[in-house]
Amino acid sequence: MKPIRFVFVGQAKAPFFRQAEDHYLEAVNRSIAATRVVVKDARAGRPAERNTAEGRGLLERLGPRDFVVVLDGRGKMYDSLGLAARLRVLVEDPGRAPCFVVGGAYGLSDEVLARADEIVSLGPGTLPHELARVVLLEQIYRATAILRGAPYHH
């Protein structure tokens, strides 16, 4: 199985978000190797300028063999079983490695969206990016539990 990478913009500011990220990343790592890469967030400028700067940082962290899954409200929604099935395909692909990308406070640049191999949504509502990261990590953990037949998923 290929390891999973999570590429996020900026460090989580609130301690409870950092703790939740750490908790679920550790939980995912009990099933499959997973790493988190944090790209510096742009602190000044208009939203479009920030997205462009952050997008450059994200694109620099993506390799040609990465299967890039970006989170965006316009993406495909999966239920837990569907996400588990999709994750199985991604981690078993011998040629590419799954890489989940979450943008900053203003989302993702057009360049990052264009680089995406798949666009996924966590639901119809808008989430703060720090919460979206936690929800993504929890959902990936839940998917790994489903794949292992563990009792976490109810």
**For 40-58, what is the mean pLDDT?**
92
Sign of CA dihedral 62, 67, 68, 71: negative
Measure the CA–CA gap between 93 and 64, rounded to whole angstroms: 14
Res. 43: pLDDT tops 90:
no
pTM of the model: 0.95
Strand partners, 71: 120
Res. 3: pLDDT tops 80:
yes
Report the chain's terminal Cα–Cα distance, integer Å: 25
Q: Can you state the percent helix, strand and coil of the chain, rounding each to 5?
A: 45, 25, 30
Lowest mean pLDDT among 42-46, 61-65, 74-78, 137-141: 42-46
Res. 144: pLDDT tops 70:
yes
DSSP assignment, residue 75?
E
Number of CB atoms found within 10 A of residue 133's CB: 27
Q: pLDDT tens-digit profile of 9-34?
A: 999 999 999 999 999 999 999 999 99
pLDDT for 11 equals 92
Contact 87, 38 (CB under 8 A): no
Strand order in 4-9's β-sheet?
A: 34-39, 4-9, 97-102, 66-77, 118-121
pLDDT for 153 equals 60
CATH of region 4-148:
3.40.1280.10
Model confidence at 154, in pLDDT bands (50, 70, 90)? low
Domain residues of the chain, as ranges? 4-148
131 three-state secondary structure: helix
Q: pLDDT tens-digit profile of 110-134?
A: 999 999 999 999 999 889 999 999 9
The most distant pair of C-alpha atoms in the chain lies apart, rounded to whole Å, by: 47
Res. 98: pLDDT tops 90:
yes
**For 132-143, what is the mean pLDDT?**
97
How many residues belong to the chain? Answer: 154
